[in-house]
Amino acid sequence: MKLYPSEIRYSQDSINNVFDNKSTYRYTYIGETLDDLCEGKSNIEDIPTISVVRKNGQWFTLDNRRLWVFRHLERLRKCTKIPVKQSYSIPDEKFTTNNDGKTIKVRGKKGGRWHKKNTPPKSLADDTARCNWSERQTGLQNGQPPSSNQITRQISQPRISPDERITIRDPEEQDTTLHNHNICSCVIL
């Protein structure tokens, strides 16, 4: 099974800033591990697979330091979905998150520098398909966005101006409803 790191939640409220002695990256700051992966000094495949548990309709992990690294890799556009293995429980004493696992605090210095970088802009050169729709093409009424079956798709070079709003959707999602004004350019990954 594969999941986006952003689909996985932390099970704890905080993590240590270094990997433990059982890890491939023993005693290495988690931020330095992230740097090594971003700079090609290490491979994502070198990181052990994260175990996940389904709880209250969400995926959680006990592998919180690895998830911290993978979430930053995803944010920096260095990875997408990652392989995970499903487990069946997290002991109550280990489930200490106080915000439903959305964020986690790192205890101590993180190390490295890539985690401080801003999210890079999406590169249109990497897109596999592009579409444009307009009010005339979709029958947009009363400012409501069209349904996915109303969108006339045209493979073309995008013309996206800074004042246009776009919604980028995962190609595996069934709902491709777009939210915009008169003319929308969207990017389908």
Report pLDDT digits (tens) over 101-126. Answer: 999 999 999 999 999 988 888 754 44
Looking from the CA of 80 toward its CB, the CA atoms found within 13 Å total 4
Other beta carbons within 10 angstroms of residue 145's beta carbon come to 17
User: 103 to each of 14, 47, 50, 61, 71, how far by Cα in Å?
Assistant: 9, 21, 17, 12, 10
Residue spans of the domains in the chain: they are 2-116, 122-189
Report pLDDT digits (tens) over 45-58. Answer: 888 999 999 999 99
Report pLDDT digits (tens) over 86-105. Answer: 999 989 999 999 999 999 99
Cβ–Cβ < 8 Å for 153, 186: no
The mean pLDDT value for 172-182 works out to: 40
Report pLDDT digits (tens) over 59-76. Answer: 999 999 999 999 999 999
Q: In 3D, which of 168, 175, 174, 173 has the Cα closest to residue 189? A: 168
pLDDT of residue 123: 59
pLDDT of residue 59: 97
